[in-house]
A and B are shown apart, each in its own frame.
Chain A
Amino acid sequence: MKTWITRRDLIVPVVAAALVAVVAVGKVKASDHQQTVFTETNPRYDITDVFAFPAATPGRIALVLMTSSPLTPALTNSHRFADISEGIYQIKVDLDGDAVEDLVFQVSFTGPAGAQVVSVRGPSRPNETGVVNTFLTSGNLVTGPVNTNLGDPAGMQVFAGPRNDPFFIDLEQFFRIIPDRKPVTGPLSQLPPHPTASSFRPVGQAVDFLRGYNGLAIVIEVPRTALTSNDNHRRFGVWATVNLVNPPANQH
């Protein structure tokens, strides 16, 4: 039976952390997040980064979707991925350069916080392309507890759980340079700007704000051949979405 899941419009820019990945050399084009009240206050739906890179094992590719950063050591255990009743995570892959997904991984979670079970189905042809999707009901499936390496080393392997956030930013200094950066939770634009710095701290003094913080990571590793149509076309595009069952109204 197909279950309809609606994708919120607002998710488009949030999850358009798109990569143009070449099998040999990955290249990140852009990354941004927390662009709405909803995603800022519901970090499990807030995709911070999508990474694609050659895996440690030759001939394999790792895809990583990060959400919910920053998590402190204590909060890590109480935070969880979205339950399947709330929505699912998808990693979409364009094989021919038309920016339309040709393959999709659907990642869903069940169970209580701290004991969730992850299920990843894919890579499969999507039931439909675009913003409104349905659950895949057939195809390759890997399932098991979070915080565990799952799957077949020769096929698809999956890990879902807290992992150190690999992003680097000297956020404290950023706020001193641009103190009137406007969050979505209130009209901070009314604050007068009083910059106390004009540039980032130099190497050796700059401090990574995200050091030690975890994000919730979904990591999928597959053979390169699963994502490249043929040896003559080894380029593919990757992006990720969060699809909600009941999207909030008026979120743009």
Chain B
Amino acid sequence: MTRRGWIVLLLTAVLAIGTSWGVTRLRASERKVAVPKPGAAAAKQFALREKDIAFFVKRAAEDTESAGDRAELAARYLQRARETGDFNDVILAENLSRKSLSLRSAHNLETNVILISALLEQHRFAEAHKLAEHLVAEEPDVDRYHSILGDIDLEVGDYAGARASFTAVHGPSRGGFSIAPSYARWLEISGDTKSARTMLYRALAKADSSDDLQRETVAWFHLRVSDIEMRNGRLRSAENILHAGREILPLDHRLLSADAHLAALRHDWRKTIALGDSAIVTVLDPGTIGLVGDAYAALGDTAKAAEYNRTMEVAVIQQPGSYHRAWSLFLLDHDRRVPEVLAKVQEELKTRKDIYGYDLLGWSLYKEHRYAEAQSAFVKALSQGTQDAVLYYHAGMIERAAGDTANARRYLQHALDLNPTFDPTHPAVAKATLDSLTH
């Protein structure tokens, strides 16, 4: 989840198109496109979560000096934030975990993990990094703390730090629930997608067979594995895993949004709209709003597409601080607000120098026709050997614009080899560009 504070501000815009959304959903239903229904088990889990929150609210009120109850409550708010996208719950989690730590610093190290999660949800990487360093210093034998630090290193682009952190994780711990997703991400960024995939599948199997994990957590593992499958062109596997995840949490907005994206990759635009609208009902994610807008455009409904795209744009610009990477790419791909995106990226790169930041910088510069600078940015974007088709597509298009046809051909072909369905529309552009370069 990313910053959601803008969601409240967005409500006005949403209300303006509320009527047409209602019509859209009705039409989707009429077309018999599969739309989710609330599962009894999921509803029960949500009800239990609320019961838990009430339980710890009461306990915290009963003992004004209880650090433990405030930490437990913070963890529940964070869980609810992940499920509902409610940014206010992230703030509550941050405040409660800080209060817990102020009440008891000793024997309360785990509360730092909750605080770190709340900070990461707000993209406050520097503060989170400092706390993670504190955890590692206090408990150097706890593998999970090294993994947390490594994860933040990846976020801020400190790849040497990430390597040191993940190397410190002992072998047997690497496949554990709390470490495997981060470790796999490091492997992916390092270019070892195959090992990352293997690790994630093993973790997913463990999660599926565990009856101790929260359903939200199990669903998240499905989301994570489907994501790596989609990004590597394995759409059928991604579909199976997503659908299994939706059996667990039918209304999970992240799974619905991912399923909508999968439908878009297959150019099943009506399904994209139905699933995307279902996801937006829970969380007004600009990326999903934009995806639905594109689906309408593909169906020729330009009025509806414009409506959604305007809403998406409003959503993004209301967001304080740096833009979410996916939303920024969406704006760039639609040639909208390019100078603003560029300025935001340049600002963010002062503290967050990761490969996807440089990818965004290079793509922004490309859109501004500043090709030499874009090439320089891509030296850094590709520096870790990450086998991501989108990165190579961007690199190829930049090289072509800069006049380096050899590199353009190499990168574009590599993008298509990695994943011929890396985007609903860009693979066709890559192929056409390759053809033009060949002839």
A226 to chain B, nearest CB (A): 35
Total residues of chain B contacting the partner, CB 8 A: 31
A91 to chain B, nearest CB (A): 25
Whether the Cβ atoms of B104 and A176 lie closer than 8 Å is yes
Whether the Cβ atoms of A78 and B142 lie closer than 8 Å is no
CA distance A39 to B54 in the complex (A): 29
Whether the Cβ atoms of B51 and A78 lie closer than 8 Å is no
Whether the Cβ atoms of B104 and A80 lie closer than 8 Å is no
Partner of A190, one of B49, B52, B138, B214: B138
B207 to chain A, nearest CB (A): 13
Across-interface contacts of A172 in B (CB, < 8 A)? 63, 65-68, 104
B67 to chain A, nearest CB (A): 7
Partner of A79, one of B68, B140, B212: B212
Across-interface contacts of B105 in A (CB, < 8 A)? 179, 194
Residue A181 is within 8 A (CB to CB) of chain B in the complex: yes
CA distance A188 to B105 in the complex (A): 12
Across-interface contacts of B67 in A (CB, < 8 A)? 172, 175
Partner of A186, one of B68, B108, B141, B212: B141
Whether the Cβ atoms of A207 and B106 lie closer than 8 Å is no
B270 to chain A, nearest CB (A): 37
CA distance A207 to B65 in the complex (A): 10
Whether the Cβ atoms of B52 and A74 lie closer than 8 Å is yes
The A contact surface, by secondary structure, is loop
Across-interface contacts of A176 in B (CB, < 8 A)? 104
Whether the Cβ atoms of B211 and A72 lie closer than 8 Å is no
Q: Which residue of B lies closest to A206 (CB)?
A: B63
Partner of A77, one of B48, B104, B142: B48
Residue A112 is within 8 A (CB to CB) of chain B in the complex: yes
A170 to chain B, nearest CB (A): 9
Mask of A166-180 contacts with B, CB within 8 angstroms, 1/0 = 000001110110011
CA distance A185 to B113 in the complex (A): 15
Residue A191 is within 8 A (CB to CB) of chain B in the complex: yes
Whether the Cβ atoms of B211 and A78 lie closer than 8 Å is yes
Across-interface contacts of A175 in B (CB, < 8 A)? 67, 104, 106-108
Q: Which residue of B lies closest to A187 (CB)?
A: B141
- With a 10 A CB-CB cut-off, give which of A172, A181, A187 has the most chain B CB atoms: A172
Q: Which residues of B contact A (CB under 8 A)?
A: 44-45, 48-49, 51-52, 55-56, 58-59, 62-63, 65-68, 72, 104-109, 138-142, 211-212, 214
Q: Which 10 A-B pairs have the closest CB atoms?
A: A179-B106, A74-B48, A74-B52, A207-B63, A113-B211, A186-B139, A73-B51, A186-B142, A175-B107, A172-B66
21 of the cross-chain contacts (CB-CB < 8 Å) are A72-B55, A73-B48, A73-B55, A74-B45, A74-B52, A78-B211, A79-B212, A113-B211, A171-B68, A172-B63, A172-B68, A175-B107, A179-B104, A179-B106, A191-B138, A194-B105, A207-B62, A207-B63, A207-B66, A211-B59, A212-B55
